[in-house]
Structure 1
Amino acid sequence: MILVETISVLCNLFSLGLLVVATISPNWKIDKSDNLFKNIFPDYNEGLWVRCNQEIKSAKWICSGLDDVYKEIPLRIKISRIFIIASIVSHSLAFLTGIFGLTCISIGGHRPDFKYRLVKREPMSILEKIRFQNILSIIFHIIDLLSVLACTLSFTIPLLKDYYKPSQKLSPVSILKGSSVSLPSWCLYLLVASFFIVFINIGISVSLLE
């Protein structure tokens, strides 16, 4: 039992770390320009909060807030921000309630009065209180799971629609500027990894109810 609970805690921490890294990183979308003058139009990475361009001479990355890049921030970014924040909050709550539901935590087995004050219910046995906390953890995990899925889809689907749209006719302007190709970057893969880890953790939490 203690080994299973330890794995659950580690999965929680790891997937939460993935979410935080993905949230603050600019590597959600990478834009590559396929043109004759690529050095004039360098590649850039874009996240939920900043866009980073690479300088030609120094090869350094310079980042700017999306409020300075767009006149109006795209809807997909606004939606993704809401879902990723909801995911982090629900994941943190799932982690905390899961901690209180561990049999190996002292407040779970030796401080039933503390857990009674937390849940504000009629007196229950220690096992019932642990079960109640695990159920809360599962509920928050499900909210987290849905938020991660919604965030990933809301950001990725518009990119795929732009990528597979019919090519524009060649013109002097298109030859100079090239055809911009926007593709998902590695932060979206972190979200996918977090999704599967949370899914596994839900299974572990369900097994702890037995």
Structure 2
Amino acid sequence: MQLANFDSKKNEFNYEYDITKKIVSKILNKLNKEQGISSGTKDYNRSKIVKYFFEAELLFKYHDMNKSGELDIKLFPQMARQLKQIYDIRDIKKFEKEMQFKKINKMSLPMFLTLLKRRLFKTIDENETFQKYFHVLDMDKKNKIDVNKLKSFLSLIGDKVSAENFDFFFKYNITNNDKLKEEDIIMDDKNNPTEISADAYRDMLTYYKYL
């Protein structure tokens, strides 16, 4: 799949819709004006943003099968999650309450992209943080980490997740999370998880039905 690119000389993107170009241009112009950010970081974020909205455009088009140009607003949290934004049950309830208050029940592509903007940089930062600590644990560079090592790691940092909560978290996701792919989780002969990929672990963390 060809990804969107940015020609700085022509100031053009190869997005399908003009509205996407306009929204991304505004974001990048704001990014360029920010102080205290190195040019390298700006270039990196610029590349991430261009690719992110290309994927967002494709996702909207995929869901808009009847080509009406509008989708049910309740689809937004699910679609945002596909683009690595985190929406748990509390976020969803808050979002639905906001849309009900504003009497919004449909979203066009411009609205979808505008809603995504609200968490854009947070999503980029969180994804980079996730990748960094996952690579630390992936000592064999297999793009999979040992589940027991992950359990030990999480019991020592941050909120210090207990072994019981960790086991429940894994069991709940493996049973209920239909986003998980069989090849991304290695099981032993007792059907217990032994290794997990980055994609599977991220899907577990962003599984919005998990309470």
Superposition TM-score, scaled by structure 1 size: 0.25
Q: Highest Rg: 1 or 2?
A: 1
Larger helix share, 1 or 2:
1
Superposition TM-score, scaled by structure 2 size: 0.25
Greater relative contact order, per chain length (Cα 8 Å cut-off, separation 6+): 1
